[in-house]
Amino acid sequence: MISLLIPSKNEEYLQKTIDDIQNKSDVEIIVGLDGWTIPLNKEWKPKYPEKIKWHIETETIGQRAMTNKLARMSEAEYLMKIDAHCSFSQGFDKELLDKIDDKTIMAPYLLRLNPETWEPIPKPASSAFCFDSNLVMQYHKEAENNELLNETMCLQGSAWIISRENYWKWNICDESLGGWGGQAAELGIRAFLNGGKCITNKNCYYAHLFREKEEEFPYQRDKGIIFNTLENLRKKYLNKDLIPLVEKFNYPCDWKEFVAKLK
């Protein structure tokens, strides 16, 4: 069984995302309303209200803290965190459960979402991701391939599934890093340091709404907040322990020069 965790703050497409999930899968949904200031649509009626749990914070606590609160509400074997503006392929839950193992953080194939039609935009589609020596996520085009299960240095971070045991054991959503930002590198690093890996499963997909304007981001994209999170990541993880991971993925981005300085 999967509990699907949705930390959200003033999300325009939350209810549409929940409807999409309930039409495409058979999962428990646990939703966090994090310091919301806009009303939900009172006319909205979910298909299976009994399969939805809600948690409300009147003041914003941040995406990591909210995700952890939602995870504590679950008794499922697997936890899947998603952003509140996504659509999915039919039966994505069964496909992920069929392929995942206890050493993997897995994500569906990443497409872009057209919010007007609620349909995926076929291209570009992404299955390979990496992070540079600042621990900022980048698309790893050189690692794209035809394999249906593509091992990748990290994941984009907007949808991923992990066993509940490993979620806590690997300290995913480490609140000491900061409330928001840097999760792509966090996933890749925590998996690697615990003997695990990140996999994109191309047998299923999710379409994610990519924001373009600063005001469209419900969680404030304050550069100071993001900088502090990335700085905390760097202080904690940017050392020689990452060299085998960087070597495994053929020194993406600026890593070759950076590793030369570390050695």
Per-residue pLDDT of the chain (263 residues; tens, 9 = 90+): 999 999 999 999 999 999 999 999 999 999 999 998 888 888 899 999 999 999 999 999 999 999 999 999 999 999 999 999 999 999 999 999 999 999 999 999 999 999 999 999 988 999 999 999 999 999 999 999 999 999 999 999 999 999 999 999 999 999 999 887 899 999 999 999 999 999 999 999 999 998 765 445 565 555 556 778 899 999 999 999 999 999 999 999 999 988 888 76
Conformational region of residue 57, where left means phi above 0, alpha means psi within -120 to 50, and beta covers everything else: beta
User: DSSP assignment, residue 12?
Assistant: T
Q: What is the rounded CA–CA span in Å between residue 4 and residue 7?
A: 10
As to burial, measured by CB atoms within 10 angstroms (0-12 exposed, 13-18 middle, 19+ buried), residue 217 is middle
The one-letter amino acid at 90: Q
| pLDDT score, position 181 | 83
pLDDT computed for residue 215 by the predictor = 47
Q: Which residues of 44-70 are buried (b: 16+ CB within 10 A; e: fewer)?
A: eeeeeeebbeebebeebbbbbbbbbbb
Q: Residue ranges per domain, the chain?
A: 2-212+219-262
Domain 2-212+219-262 has CATH 3.50.50.60: no
The span from the CA of 32 to the CA of 56, in Å, is 6
